[in-house]
């Protein structure tokens, strides 16, 4: 009988010790979680920073056919998504006709805000370029789909050839060249040897395209 009671007492002590250890571990874990920064707050801050980087852009120059998001704070009747017309202008309620082509998003924000001041106290305007259609290149000659294409995502000569559906039979793939418009009105001829580039040779030829570049495939 004494041995049975002693064994039961030992088992009880072990169970109590185990429960105490588990309780202490849970309390430590809860304290650690309470002091850690909330992931959702960090994500929200990052998202807010990324969004601010898109607004108030003073580098990109807006052109005809670009699609803009115009947001006027607390003015949903004025805010809208709108394309730039062929005359380079957009029309907004209260602001009327506004020149957009040739302006940066930051400059356009300031122009719209100036026009709205007659109707709204301290208007806050944000302009974001949603879609770029004004920056285009041409590809001519022995490709399956010659024509004019918008420049997107830092397109290269290889990208342009792919967009144009590849080469026709007998295309001179070693004699391709890019005609680039210079600020003074002259043109620069830049050679491109497709056979070399696809083999990983002289890859510097695969230049990033600029607006009004013309790729000629003889």
211/134 Cα distance (integer angstroms): 8
* Top-confidence residue, 145 or 12: 145
**67 pLDDT higher than 90:** yes
Position 183 scores a pLDDT of 79
Position 71 scores a pLDDT of 97
Task: Give the single-character DSSP code of 12.
Answer: H
99/84 Cα distance (integer angstroms): 9
**CA 60, 62, 67, 72 torsion: positive or negative?**
positive
The tens digit of pLDDT for each residue in 97-152 reads: 999 999 999 999 999 999 999 999 999 999 999 988 888 999 999 999 999 998 87
Position 217 scores a pLDDT of 98
The tens digit of pLDDT for each residue in 69-103 reads: 999 999 999 999 999 999 999 999 999 999 999 99
Give me the mean pLDDT over the 188-197 stretch.
97
130/150 Cα distance (integer angstroms): 14
**pTM of the shown model:** 0.58
User: What's the CATH superfamily of 136-217?
Assistant: Outer membrane lipoprotein wza domain like (3.10.560.10)
Q: Copy the structure tokens of residue 46.
A: 């990052």
Count of CB atoms situated within 10 Å of the CB of 187: 12
Position 82 scores a pLDDT of 97
Place of tokens 């003074």: 184
Closest CA to 178 of 187, 167, 165: 187
**42 pLDDT higher than 90:** no
The tens digit of pLDDT for each residue in 18-39 reads: 444 444 444 444 444 433 343 3
164/149 Cα distance (integer angstroms): 9
The tens digit of pLDDT for each residue in 154-188 reads: 899 999 999 999 999 999 999 999 999 887 889 99
- Fold observed for domain 51-131: wza like fold (3.30.1950)
Closest CA to 216 of 143, 153, 150: 143
Residue spans of the domains in the chain: they are 1-36, 51-131, 136-217
Position 55 scores a pLDDT of 59
């Amino acid at each position: 009988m004494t041995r049975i009671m002693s064994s039961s007492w030992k088992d009880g002590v072990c169970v109590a010790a185990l429960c105490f250890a588990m309780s202490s571990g849970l309390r430590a874990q809860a304290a650690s979680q309470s002091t850690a920064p909330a992931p959702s707050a960090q994500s929200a801050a990052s998202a807010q920073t990324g969004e601010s980087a898109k607004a108030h852009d003073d580098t990109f120059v807006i052109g005809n056919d670009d699609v803009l998001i115009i947001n006027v704070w607390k003015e949903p009747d004025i805010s809208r998504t709108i394309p730039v017309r062929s005359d380079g202008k957009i029309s907004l309620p209260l602001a009327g006709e506004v020149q957009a082509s040739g302006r940066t998003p930051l400059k356009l924000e300031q122009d719209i805000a100036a026009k709205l001041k007659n109707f709204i106290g301290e208007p806050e305007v944000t302009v974001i370029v949603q879609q770029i259609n004004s920056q285009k290149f041409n590809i001519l000659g022995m490709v399956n789909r010659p024509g004019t294409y918008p420049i997107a995502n830092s397109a290269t000569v290889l990208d342009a050839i792919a967009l144009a559906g590849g080469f026709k039979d007998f295309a001179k793939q070693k004699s391709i060249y890019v005609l680039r418009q210079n600020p003074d009105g002259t043109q620069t001829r830049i050679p491109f040897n497709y056979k070399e580039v696809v083999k990983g040779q002289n890859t510097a030829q695969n230049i990033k395209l600029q607006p009004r570049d013309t790729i000629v495939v003889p």
